[in-house]
Amino acid sequence: MLETGLAETAFWPYALMIVGALVTYFWRALGVALSGRIDAGSPLFEWVACVAYALLAGLIARMIVLPNGPLAETASADRIAAAVIALAIFFLARRNVGLGVAAGAGALVLMTLGRSWFF
Amino acid sequence: MPNSDITGGTLGSGYASPRHAALKGLQHALGVPALVLGASYLGFGSLIHGAGLDVWHGLFSTFTGWALPGQIILVELYSLGASVLIVAAAVAMTNARLLPMTVALMPYLRAPGTPRWRYYLFAHYIAVTGWAAAMRHCPDLPEPQRLPYFAGFAVTLWSMTLVTTAVGFYLADLLPGYITLGLVFLNPIYFMLVFVADARHRARILALAFGAVCGPLLHLVSPDWGLPLTGLLAGSLAFFGDRLWSQRNA
């Protein structure tokens, strides 16, 4: 009993990752299968594209405003300020994505460090 | 932008051959996209380390289940000792966006005479960065060059993230926590700017705006269903809003 328990522990993360990979690929494969029935110029296709863009914007906004993982330890005000800084630098630097991203992530790091020093 | 030569140099007529299109995809990926996504996966590698897993777990996850938000959720739930059902449901929910993304992208990747298995193979590489690049450029390419361009772009990104998953794992002890924070934050900020830079069609701009507002709000209402609901509600609102707008001004 103890041995099978240990074996299970060693394999456990892989088992979870295989399950994760299967459910992830499932969506992609289903998408390929369903798309064969939709004409590129049809309104249904444009609706699906709108749903995809809305989902992605929702996910990104959630990752900034209500993140899970290590970001949850940072202050919401800092993350939102950093996102605004990223947008500002992006437009000021003539729509340079690289500079905007670097500025946003750098700003969050500095603000988080600042809080740990001063508070 | 790394992709400016598509409109500048080739006037939307595409490249010399499908092979050249794949190489162009590779070349376009090897700029800001590979840098930012690579750095994000440094963060993922260090997360793997922090969860007490080993480097092969990280590589396995990036190899098989490529799509960062789902990978992060999985590692977190593993740390919390969640059951396999909980993990399956959470990853499926987080990655449900891949369904409408794939449906929306496929018409831009299809070409007559392409064996069907290729679509199913390269569908594995559909994730936000490559998707956004393909949604932008593939409509301007001749059909036989579309899938090669996407494949060149996305497989390059994927390879890069495999390398940096491992590098991030070994750097975990050297990287202070606040640097890891910055690396994890790169991802949402990058995606945000990619979509702001891309926004062209009115319906899609509306969808992005409504989605950004609804996403966090509906997440507060229901962490499980918030995201799929955001897509359906905000996406439909944008779709019908756009149609209404066109009719009024017709």
Helix, strand, coil percentages, rounded to 5, for chain A: 85, 0, 15
The mean per-residue pLDDT over the stretch A11-19 comes to: 94
Residues 6+ apart with CB under 8 A from B192: A60, A64, A83, A86, A87
Q: Clarify whether residues A43 and A61 are in a common domain.
A: yes
Closest by CA position to B43, among listed B193, B156, B179, B191: B179
Q: Which two tokens stand for residue A53?
A: 């863009």
Residue in A50, A58, A113 closest to B239 by CB: A50
pLDDT band at B8 (very low <50, low <70, confident <90, very high): very low
Q: Clarify whether residues A27 and A5 are in a common domain.
A: yes
Largest CA distance in chain B: 61
Task: Check residues A119 and B249 and name the one with the higher pLDDT.
Answer: B249
Nearest chain B Cα distance for residue A44, angstroms: 10
Evaluate whether A17 touches B156 at the Cβ level (below 8 Å).
Answer: no
pLDDT of residue A8: 57
Lowest mean pLDDT across A3-17, B27-41, B108-122: A3-17
pLDDT of residue A5: 54
Q: Clarify whether residues A23 and A52 are in a common domain.
A: no
Q: Clarify whether residues A28 and A51 are in a common domain.
A: no
pLDDT tens-digit series, residues A50-65:
999 999 999 999 999 9
Nearest chain B Cα distance for residue A90, angstroms: 8
Q: Clarify whether residues A33 and A57 are in a common domain.
A: no
pLDDT of residue B190: 95
Q: Clarify whether residues A56 and A44 are in a common domain.
A: yes
The mean per-residue pLDDT over the stretch B172-198 comes to: 90
pLDDT tens-digit series, residues B110-159:
999 999 999 999 999 999 999 999 999 999 999 999 999 999 999 999 99
Task: Flag whether pLDDT at A3 surpasses 60.
Answer: no
Task: Flag whether pLDDT at B239 surpasses 90.
Answer: yes
Evaluate whether A20 touches B87 at the Cβ level (below 8 Å).
Answer: yes
> A54 vs B84: CB contact, 8 Å cut-off?
no
Helix, strand, or coil (residue A117): helix
Which ranges in chain B belong to alpha helices (H)?
A: 5-9, 18-29, 32-50, 55-64, 68-79, 84-94, 98-109, 116-122, 128-137, 143-171, 177-198, 202-221, 226-248
Task: Flag whether pLDDT at B6 surpasses 50.
Answer: no
Question: How far, in Å, CA of B192 to CA of B37, rounded?
Answer: 13
Q: Clarify whether residues A33 and A44 are in a common domain.
A: no
Question: How far, in Å, CA of B213 to CA of A62, rounded?
Answer: 9
Q: Clarify whether residues A57 and A95 are in a common domain.
A: no
The mean per-residue pLDDT over the stretch B13-23 comes to: 91
Q: How many domains does chain A have?
A: 3
pLDDT of residue B2: 42
- Please report, rounded to a whole number, the percentage of residues in chain B having pLDDT higher than 90: 77
pLDDT of residue B91: 94
Q: Clarify whether residues A81 and A111 are in a common domain.
A: yes
Nearest chain A Cα distance for residue B207, angstroms: 5
pLDDT of residue B198: 84
Q: Clarify whether residues A28 and A43 are in a common domain.
A: no
- Residues of chain A in contact with residue B100, where contact means CB-CB under 8 angstroms, are 31, 48-49, 51-52, 55
> A58 vs B124: CB contact, 8 Å cut-off?
no
Task: Check residues B200 and B34 and name the one with the higher pLDDT.
Answer: B34
Nearest chain A Cα distance for residue B111, angstroms: 12
Other CB atoms within 10 A of residue A91 CB: 13
Closest by CA position to B193, among listed A54, A76, A112, A103: A103
Closest by CA position to B75, among listed B57, B101, B94: B57
Please tell me whether the overall predicted TM-score, pTM, comes out greater than 0.95 for this model.
Answer: no
| Residue A31 domain boundaries | 1-37
Q: Which two tokens stand for residue B214?
A: 């609804």
- Residues of chain A in contact with residue B83, where contact means CB-CB under 8 angstroms, are none
Residue in A28, A39, A116 closest to B124 by CB: A28
Q: Clarify whether residues A78 and A55 are in a common domain.
A: no
Contact of A115 with chain B, judged by CB distance below 8 Å, is answered with no
Q: Clarify whether residues A79 and A117 are in a common domain.
A: yes
